[in-house]
Amino acid sequence: MSPILGIWASQNYPRITNSYESIATVNVTSNTATIEFTSIPSTFKHLQIRYIARDTSASAGADDMFMKFNAGASATYSWHRLEGNGTTASANGSGTEGHISLSAAAISRGGNASGIFSSGVIDILDYQNTNKNTTARALYGSERNGSGSMLLSSGNWYGSTNAVTSIAFTAENANSFVQYSQFALYGIRG
Amino acid sequence: MPAGSTYSTIATTTTTGLQSTVTFTGISGIYTDLILVGAFATAAASSLNLTMGNGAIDSGSNYSWTYLRGSDGTANSSRGSNDTRIFSGETNTANLQTNIIIQFQNYSNTTTFKTSISRFNHTTKTAQATVGLWRSTSAIDRIRVSAPSDFSIGSTFTLYGIASA
């Protein structure tokens, strides 16, 4: 018989770390077409976005989420993804897009059972470096008890070497993010 | 911009004997997200399973999962529905160092079901990414990882909390 080990959170005091800081959080309270972080400080080495999301689509399933840097800037993006949809593993991508697409399952659709939200973590690496194109990677998924997908993806903003100062997210088919969706932006010092 | 304890250690445990479960309880709701990092081995070939709950670990068929993995030289995907656990990985070699990182976003809200995403690595068997769903709107105040064939001595699991602005 193996023992069960219980650990009380209160037994350990939080250890303060200053290398990972919260920059801003968007808690969606009503239908919102675009989630945007602006005036991102230049004091960090990397950025991380952690989110849960659901949109206004009336059907079941999941939607793509589009990520764009420095809204309004002329830009070209590419992306690739590796997906497991519960049956097969597959890959897809595009080299000429107006955004990085977190495709297939980044946002749970509003037609799914109440309470189902997609979840993801997006890393934007070396976002201040003006000598190279900014790249991003993401781990995200949508699980709906009988359907769903898990994905790893990468994206590149090859149209610019500008430092990233803003990040905008939109949903496929001009759907809006619904209440309780949450996007939190963090900075990681180098 | 706030500075300070954005990313904090909540608790760490290291196994001192063979045991099939490690459970973190009493998780407060003061954070935005949780991250569970495991560096472990199993005493024999085993699945790695995730469950959670509020007040008690939910042992009902309220979980589902979908994974993407490379295993034994092949990329594949599978799912489980109405399951009693989130299947998060699989080992085939005893006492081989293995790791897993599990992300729990917005774990303490009482409105949404709880979706977790994880990465699992066991070099002789599987690299796996999993999305899991716990169909409950309860806040998560306890998390359990289990290996039916037991965790080896010296396995460590650390739970971190991330607090957003």
Please name the residue of chain A whose CA is at the shortest distance from the CA of residue B33: A50
Given a cut of 70, whether residue B70 has pLDDT beyond it is yes
Task: Tell me how crowded residue B8 is: count the other CB atoms within 10 A of its CB.
Answer: 20
Q: Is the CB of A39 inside 8 Å of chain B's CB atoms?
A: no
Q: Residue B19 and residue B15: Cα distance in Å, rounded? A: 7
pLDDT at A102: 97
Residues of chain A neighbouring B76 (CB-CB closer than 8 A): 84, 88-89
Q: Residue B157 and residue B145: Cα distance in Å, rounded? A: 9
Q: Residue A106 and residue A54: Cα distance in Å, rounded? A: 9
Q: Which residue has the tokens 């965790």?
A: B151
Residues of chain A neighbouring B119 (CB-CB closer than 8 A): 139
pLDDT at B5: 78
Is B1 inside a domain boundary? no
Instruction: Determine the average pLDDT of the residues in B96-109.
Output: 97
Is B157 inside a domain boundary? yes
Handedness of CA B52, B55, B60, B62 (dihedral sign): negative
- Per-residue CA distances from A163 to A35, A108, A156 (Å): 19, 31, 13
pLDDT at A96: 87
Contact B65 A41 (CB under 8 A): no
pLDDT in tens, B74-102: 999 999 999 999 999 999 999 999 999 99
In contact, A182 and A28? CB cutoff 8 Å: yes
Given a cut of 60, whether residue B2 has pLDDT beyond it is no
Given a cut of 90, whether residue B72 has pLDDT beyond it is no
Is B120 inside a domain boundary? yes
Count the domains in chain B.
Answer: 1
Residues of chain A neighbouring B81 (CB-CB closer than 8 A): 145-146
Q: Residue A185 and residue A49: Cα distance in Å, rounded? A: 5
pLDDT at A73: 60
Q: Is the CB of A11 inside 8 Å of chain B's CB atoms?
A: yes
Domains of chain A: residue spans and CATH: 19-188 (2.60.120)
Contact B163 A22 (CB under 8 A): yes
Contact A2 B79 (CB under 8 A): no
In contact, A41 and A24? CB cutoff 8 Å: no
Is B2 inside a domain boundary? no
Beta strand spans in B26-155 (E): 33-40, 46-53, 63-71, 74-83, 86-91, 98-105, 114-122, 126-134, 142-151
Contact B66 A143 (CB under 8 A): yes
Residues of chain A neighbouring B12 (CB-CB closer than 8 A): 7, 12
Please name the residue of chain B whose CA is at the shortest distance from the CA of residue A140: B117
Contacts of residue A1, defined as CB under 8 A and 6 or more positions apart, other chains included, come to: none
Stretches in chain A below the pLDDT threshold 70: 1-17, 72-75
pLDDT at A17: 54
Q: Which residue has the tokens 């690299």?
A: B127
Task: Tell me how crowded residue B69 is: count the other CB atoms within 10 A of its CB.
Answer: 22
- Enclosing domain of residue B108: 7-162
Q: Residue B57 and residue B45: Cα distance in Å, rounded? A: 24
Q: Residue A103 and residue A85: Cα distance in Å, rounded? A: 12
Round to the nearest angstrom and report the end-to-end CA distance of chain B: 8
Task: Tell me how crowded residue B111 is: count the other CB atoms within 10 A of its CB.
Answer: 11
Mean pLDDT for all residues in chain B: 96
Contact B164 A148 (CB under 8 A): no
pLDDT at A71: 80
Q: Residue A93 and residue A154: Cα distance in Å, rounded? A: 9
Is B134 inside a domain boundary? yes
pLDDT at A72: 62
Q: Which of B13, B36, B44 is nearest to B118 (CA)?
A: B36
In contact, A53 and A177? CB cutoff 8 Å: yes
Question: Which amino acid type is present at position B38?
Answer: G
In contact, A162 and A37? CB cutoff 8 Å: no
Write the burial class of residue B145 (CB in 10 Å: 0-12 exposed, 13-18 middle, 19+ buried). Answer: buried
Q: Residue B69 and residue B79: Cα distance in Å, rounded? A: 11
Question: Which amino acid type is present at position B31?
Answer: Y
ipTM comes to: 0.95
C-alpha count within 13 angstroms, C-beta hemisphere, residue A120:
31
CATH number at residue B19: 2.60.120
C-alpha count within 13 angstroms, C-beta hemisphere, residue A137:
6
